[in-house]
Amino acid sequence: MEREVIITGIGGQGIQLMAKVLAHAANRAGKQVMLFGMYQGMMRGGSSESTIVLSDTEIQAPPIIPLTWSVLAMHPFGLVDVAKKLRPGGVLMINTTLVTRVPRTEGRVAHIPATKMAEEAGNLMGAGMIALGAFCAITGLVSETDLVAAMRDSLPPHRQHLAEVNVRLLARGVQYAAVAGVDNASVSSAPTP
């Protein structure tokens, strides 16, 4: 099984960290992984995108892909172009706090108000961890245990003090997916834009 994931948003949302955590968690779970991040030179507000390819077998090509199995969209910036790469039957997860229009009319869409949930948790910068927790719970790509361990390993030394907060944020996303009744088999159909 090979799965491609594109995480998209803007600088300052933790897109590159989310991708690194997912890639590391998949590697911990014994999968082959390739990661490719693209971002503009500005610290915040510019385009930020990461592609992760996960496989049970050796990956032959770099993660510059024409089509993808899933997209996790934290911001509408660039989403229209990325959504065009989504394969039929793929999963599109959107942060509904910021993404108010779904740019496709077919496929499976999972909704999470990640930014709103992070704000309610008192940590606006934690929206990415909430969304990543929900995304992994919905897709089943990696376990929560591997995700938490990978997050701890991926935080730079000057951010290690955020590890326990991030554990709670990941768990909040996983819990949201469970409470919302969203799982691999019941991701909703996309509404018309």
Give per-residue pLDDT as tens, 123-178. 989 999 999 999 999 999 999 999 999 999 999 999 899 999 999 999 999 999 98
| Of 51, 26, 10, 183, the residue nearest 110 (C-alpha) | 183
Rounded CA separation 127/97 (Å): 10
Q: Is the dihedral of CA 20, 34, 178, 8 positive or negative?
A: positive
Q: Indicate the burial class of 184 (C-beta count within 10 angstroms; 0-12, 13-18, 19 or more).
A: exposed
Rounded CA separation 144/121 (Å): 19
Evaluate whether residue 50 is within a structural domain.
Answer: yes
pLDDT band (50, 70, 90) for residue 1? confident
CATH of the domain at 132: 3.40.920.10
Rounded CA separation 180/119 (Å): 19
Residue with tokens 């996303």, as numbered in its chain: 173
Give the 3-state DSSP-derived string for 106-140, with helices as H, strands as E and coil as C: CCEEEEECHHHHHHHCCCHHHHHHHHHHHHHHHHC
The alpha carbon torsion through 69, 95, 50, 150 (nearest 10 deg) reads -90
Task: Domain of residue 55: give its range.
Answer: 2-185
- Residue pair 37/49 in contact (Cβ under 8 Å)? The answer is yes
- 189: pLDDT strictly greater than 80: no
- 74: pLDDT strictly greater than 90: yes
Evaluate whether residue 6 is within a structural domain.
Answer: yes
pLDDT in tens, 100-116: 988 876 678 899 999 99
pLDDT at position 188 is 42
Q: What's the total number of domains in the chain?
A: 1
Evaluate whether residue 193 is within a structural domain.
Answer: no
pLDDT at position 183 is 42
pLDDT at position 186 is 38
pLDDT band (50, 70, 90) for residue 62? low
Evaluate whether residue 71 is within a structural domain.
Answer: yes
Rounded CA separation 132/8 (Å): 12
Evaluate whether residue 192 is within a structural domain.
Answer: no
Evaluate whether residue 19 is within a structural domain.
Answer: yes
CB burial of 94-103 (b: ≥16 within 10 Å; e: otherwise) equals bbbbbbeebb
pLDDT at position 123 is 93
pLDDT band (50, 70, 90) for residue 182? very low
- Residue pair 70/142 in contact (Cβ under 8 Å)? The answer is no
Evaluate whether residue 191 is within a structural domain.
Answer: no
